[in-house]
Every structure is written in structure tokens, then in C-alpha cells.
Amino acid sequence: MRSPRARRTSALLAFAGAVFLAFFTLSSPAEAYPWMIRHGYTTCTPCHADPSGSGLITQYGRAQAELLMRTRYGAKKGEGEEEAGKVAGFMFGAVTPPDWLLLGVSGRNLVLLPWQAGVRQDVQDYIMEADAKAQVTVGRFRASGTLGFAKDGDPDISLTHNSDNNLVSREFWIGVDIGEDKNWLLRAGRLQIPFGIRQIEHTLFVRQSTRTDIDKTSQYGVALSYSGDKVRGELMGIAGNYNVNPDDFRQRGYAGFVELTLAERTTLGVSSELTFVKLDELDLVKEMRSAHGLFTRLAPYKPLVIMAEVDALLNTPDGKAQGGVTGMLQFDYEPVQGLHFIATGETLRSPANPLVQWGGWGEIDWFFLPHMDVRVDFVDQVVALNKARVNTFSIGPQYHLFL
């Protein structure tokens, strides 16, 4: 018979295991909040390890998340007087990594309630993200990467190759900071595609049609980025996704953007992407794909951020030119710090289908506690399937925790 001390130890271990499992089974892609422009952040480098935003955040980014992103209850101090406190740190401040090491853990779980053509479909439960993230810095050199779990396979980013329950890595790279002020960063590895507005709504038409979401479309390649006071940008040479086989299916080319700061809370950017594949996975023909467009972020007054993007699309399957266009307009209203009401309109005319598609998003996102937010998306879309349009509607509550 076990002693009381052994039983207490077993209970504590069981509780710790339950918490761990709950987090990784009840946990979207890496976070990207371009609406931080309302606070004057027109560049991403102060807060993110990735110079174009999303993913692992810096110690400074953690402090700003605590001070500027979540709801602050009770009386506030004067502007600039408040401090983030220990809770902003890794694991709520329980662990303090050395200065040369950045660590992060992020989990997001989505329960999707979908309808198609007015008919209720099965409820779907997604582990959108369950990733550990790290960056090591030695002088001017950096090494960064993520390691996570995907319940439903995700072959494009998987390190293991099971039908489900795989280890995944959305990005991993080595880099060197260049210049007296380290404004330039040269990286090589698996990278997020630099194009357009890097945002969390990875299923928007503009992200899917350009293949530039931050969930599964990262590619191997080399990228050079610049982050200055008034200009930021990145250019990437794309070598392909080596999870895709055979080699003829891998897309190669370039992608990049430049964004100018026109005022304290106003930017304007241009994007360009051009890739080639020897064989398209669906049509099995040689194809060139390109997208070129404009995007803007502005906050006419602090509670309201407006973001827009429009991209011209051109595909040439087997040398036959097919054109299209996609665009989105998003309004993010934050009446109280941490509580966001978001409305998005979008449209797409795909190069592969002449039928115009459109959609509307309504979103409520509340950063209610340190490191936590809850969100509900209402998405109504009219999508083209073959030669017909089909209405789809979904309600997607989700929970996000980062440590």
C-alpha cells in the first residue's frame, strides 16, 4: 500500500499531466496583429523575432502585449508610467530565460459550426496551433524555429508522416543581423512568405489565393529584410516546400513587399510574388503563378484601424494566361482596451474560375487576461464550386493561450 506522501506525489503528477494535455488538446496559426498600428507600431521588429511579424515575440513584445493588448481592470497610471510586471514574462514570469534565449508556447483551439447551402454540417474541432518556439542569439547570429503538434496531419509542414497526429514545424531558420544598427537581417531556412498584410485570418481569400497565410504555406528559401523608421520590407527567394514530392510539384521563384510609413498611424505597401512549378498538382501541367498588389493600414483615430489589400492574380497553366483579382477591407474597432469588434468584406475572382466569390466576416475578440484571449468568428461566404456558387456560413468560437 502506498504512503500518503506517494499518493500526494502521484496526484500532483496526474494534475500536471492533465493541465498539459488540456492545453495541447484544447489549444490558428502563429499570432499576427497588424492593428497594433493604432499604438504607433508601423514595423514588427521591436515585438517579433520574424522581421515581417507573427510568431515568436521578444521580451519587449511581451511587455507591450500586457500593457497595450489586454483589458486593464481598475485605475490606470499616467501614460508611460505603468510597467508590465513579471506576469508578462515567459510562463507568466515563473521562468526567466537568459537574454540570448527567447522562448514561447502558443496554443489555439477552434470549434467550427458550419452550414453549406443552408444545411447544417458536422461540428468540427481543430487544434489550430500547439507550438513551442525558440530563438538563440549569439552576437549577430540567430537561430529560430518552432515545433508543434497537429492532430489532423498537415503534410505540408509535418516532420513526421502519419495520417494524423504529427510533429510539425511552421518555420525554422538561421540568420545574421547586418549593419551598424542591425536594420538588415539575412535569413535562410523555412520561412513565412513575405507578402501583403500578415494577419491571423489565414482563410481570407487574399491569403488563400496568393498562398501567403501563416498557417501552412511557409517555404524553404533565403530572405533579406530591412526595418527602418519609415520603411520596412523583405525579399525572399523561394526554393520550394521539400515536404512536397516529387520535385516537379515544388514552386520556386520570389516574393516580397515594401511598406512606407506615411504618418504616425498610416502606411502604404506594395507586394509582388512570382513562382513556377514544372507540374501543377491538380492539372499536371507547367504553370507560372503571380500576384502583385497594394495594401494599407491606417488608424484615423486610435480606437479604429482600417486595413485594405487588393491583389491582381495571373496564372499561366501550360502557357495559357488566366487573370483574376482579390481584395479585402477590414475595420477593427476597440472601444475598450482588449475588446475588438472586427468587420471584414472580401472578394475573389480566381484565375481558375470566372465566377466572382465574396464574403463577410464579423468577429469579436477579447484579450481578457494576461496571455489569453477568446474569439468568435461569424463567416458568410459565397464560393465557386465548379460552375456554380454555393453559400457557406460558419460560427467559430476559439480560445488562445500563449506562455
pLDDT at residue 156 tops 60:
yes
Range with the poorest average pLDDT among 5-9, 47-51, 243-247, 262-266: 5-9
Q: Are 133 and 171 in contact (CB under 8 A)?
A: no
Given a contact cutoff of 8 angstroms between Cβ atoms, the answer to whether 189 and 220 are in contact is yes
pTM of the model: 0.87
- Alpha-carbon distance of 264 to 245, in angstroms, equals 46
Domain borders along the chain are 4-402
Range of lowest pLDDT (31-45, 138-152, 301-315, 317-331): 31-45
pLDDT-derived band of residue 260, with 50, 70 and 90 as boundaries? very high
Span 216-252, pLDDT tens digits: 899 999 999 999 989 999 999 999 999 988 999 999 9
The model's confidence at residue 13, banded by pLDDT at 50, 70 and 90, is very low
Q: Are 261 and 251 in contact (CB under 8 A)?
A: no
**Is the bond into 246 cis (omega within 30 degrees of 0)?**
yes
* pLDDT class of 76 with cuts at 50, 70, 90: low
CB 104 within 8 A of CB 132: yes
Place of cell 517579433: 48
Task: Report pLDDT for 56.
Answer: 92
Q: What is the mean pLDDT of the chain?
A: 88
The band of 215, judged by pLDDT with boundaries at 50, 70 and 90, is confident
Give yes or no for residue 5 having a pLDDT over 50: no
- Assign 3-class secondary structure to 29-94: CCCCCHHHHHHCCCCCCCCECCCCCCCCECHHHHHHHHHHHCCCCCCCCCCCCCCCCHHHCHHHHC
pLDDT of 16 over the 50 cut: no
Instruction: Classify domain 4-402 at the CATH class level.
Output: mainly beta
pLDDT tens, residue by residue, 379-391: 999 999 888 899 9
> Of residues 317 and 196, which shows the higher confidence score?
196
Task: Name the grid cell of 372.
Answer: 489569453
- Confidence class of residue 126 from pLDDT cuts 50, 70 and 90? confident
Alpha carbons within 13 angstroms on the beta-carbon side of residue 267 total 30
pLDDT at 30 over 60: no
Look at 164 and 351; give whichever has higher pLDDT: 351
- According to the model, what pLDDT value does residue 74 have? 77
Tell me the pLDDT tens digit for each residue of 299-329: 999 999 999 999 999 999 888 899 999 999 9
Alpha carbon distance 32, 187 (integer Å):
20
Predicted local distance difference test score (pLDDT) of residue 164: 83
**Residue 202 pLDDT more than 80?**
yes
